[in-house]
Amino acid sequence: MVERSRWLSALRAALKRSRVTALVGPRQAGKTTLARQIVPENSPAYFDLEDPRGLARLAEPMMALGPLRGIVVIDEIQRRPDLFPVLRVLADRRPIPARFLILGSATPDLLKPCSETLAGRLETIELTGFALDELGAPAMRRLWRRGGFPPAYLARSEHASYVWRRQFMQTYLERDLPQLGITVPSATMLRFWTMLAHYHGGVWNAAEAARSLGVSEPTARRYLDLLSGLFMVRQLQPWHENLKKRQVKAPKVYLRDSGLLHALLGLAGERELLSHPKAGASWEGYAIEQAVALVRPEAAYFWATHTGAELDLLLIKRGQRYGVEVKFQDAPRLTPSMRTAISDLRLRHLTVLYPGDRQYELGRRVTVVPLTELARDPEVIARVGRAPRVRAGAGPRERVDSHSIRRHPARRRGMKHPEAHR
């Protein structure tokens, strides 16, 4: 069993602060396992709403919940939205006899009419699948291939993991979506999900998605929002401000779990993955999810201009701006796009994440950092690098002067094509 001490500590702290704590995240991410470490499954204060006995015990919710003391757990709360007004009444009692931990597989936005009842009383913690800091550096490639869902990651073989992921998606579409009141046909949603896998890492184009599915643009947008609300898709919003440049203002779309992405693309093992055209985009999405989960910024964006300059990830942390570029390369190079991002966005520092094992500096305020080092020390993104400076692509041990970096050949030739910025 993988210890999830970081999540357990965060959950216990939230329960001390708030009258109602919502632990939300995708199905099979480990919410129930965490909750049972706080309140045992056989406790009178534990209600599993997927168990008919748990539902029966809450036939009269005020009578069932009112006398309880301490921490009360209600698992899969979305199955009984009528409980939210009851929880509001119980949470407002003084002194507080009980605090409530509710578990759900949808964001508060999808349950908005219900969760608004608990405004001012509710604290939300979003649980993800396994992250690299929980598994250690040797798990990096396995976590990328299989994704972070515990049954997929812990499966005995690559084939068993792949089969589990395919079955999970089928069950999710055929059983779980209808339980949330979502009436989209499962075949239609699977087509849309598969289409998103091929657009993974790209800027959302509602017209193109709608045309491919044969639906209206608002309908395609609704499908995207549904998968985002179910923690399957990340819509990375663009950062734009009053610069003298035309900036991209549509979100980028990523499938949040790399294992599900690979299953949708039919990639059962590492050999197929590394030879696939989406391998680089897959790594980018994987590294972005790890960075957001580990750094825990106040906000996360991407940035791009119509002239080709872009930044994979802009993190706001303690009021400062930090840039993250993701490279699926052995030795990332300093690019004009990086210099443009530092200047235009006024970044405190830019970190280049890559799958290597050495940390080194590319230039002033630009540091190449292994993804495994970020897992060991998430604060590395928020610190100016102190490693020796090296020539782009030269290898971490070769020192050069800053003049040779500033006079990059691409800048001297005045290249304007988007590839020149990358």
Q: 33-60, pLDDT tens digit by residue? A: 999 999 999 999 999 998 999 999 999 9
Same domain, 272 and 390: yes
Q: What does the pLDDT read at residue 274? A: 95
Same domain, 121 and 154: no
Same domain, 258 and 377: yes
Cβ–Cβ under 8 Å, residues 177 and 78: no
Q: What does the pLDDT read at residue 298? A: 94
Please state, for a pLDDT cut of 90, what percent of the chain lies above it. 73
Amino acid type, 124: T
Same domain, 121 and 144: no
What is the tally of structural domains in the chain? 2
Same domain, 217 and 359: yes
Same domain, 76 and 188: no
pLDDT(111) > 80 = no
Cβ–Cβ under 8 Å, residues 227 and 193: yes
Residue 317: band (very low, low, confident or very high) from pLDDT cuts 50, 70, 90: very high
CATH of the domain at 19: 3.40.50.300
Residue 406: band (very low, low, confident or very high) from pLDDT cuts 50, 70, 90: very low
Instruction: Give the least confident one: 11-15, 239-243, 316-320, 393-397.
Output: 393-397
Q: What does the pLDDT read at residue 115? A: 61
- Mark which of 127, 144, 172 sits at the end of a domain: 127
Q: What is the pLDDT of residues 362-405, one digit of tens each?
A: 988 999 999 999 999 988 987 654 443 333 343 333 333 333 33
The DSSP bridge pattern shows strands 20-24 and 98-104 to be parallel
What is the mean predicted confidence (pLDDT) over 191-220? 94
| Residue bearing tokens 């041990």 | 397
Q: What does the pLDDT read at residue 110? A: 56
- Mark which of 101, 127, 153 sits at the end of a domain: 127
- Mark which of 127, 161, 183 sits at the end of a domain: 127
Token duo for residue 140: 């990096």
Same domain, 33 and 147: no
Same domain, 262 and 314: yes
Q: How far apart are CA 274 and CA 265, in angstroms?
A: 13
Residue 108: band (very low, low, confident or very high) from pLDDT cuts 50, 70, 90: low
Same domain, 377 and 315: yes
Q: Which domain holds residue 359?
A: 133-421
Same domain, 293 and 229: yes
Q: Which residues contact 407 (CB under 8 A, 6 or more apart)?
A: none
Among 323, 419, 416, 320, which residue's Cα sits nearest to residue 369?
323
Burial class (CB in 10 A: 0-12, 13-18, 19+), 76: buried
Residue 181: band (very low, low, confident or very high) from pLDDT cuts 50, 70, 90: confident
Q: How far apart are CA 301 and CA 313, in angstroms?
A: 6
Same domain, 118 and 177: no
Mean pLDDT of the chain: 87
Amino acid type, 153: Y
Count of other CB atoms within 10 angstroms of residue 319: 7
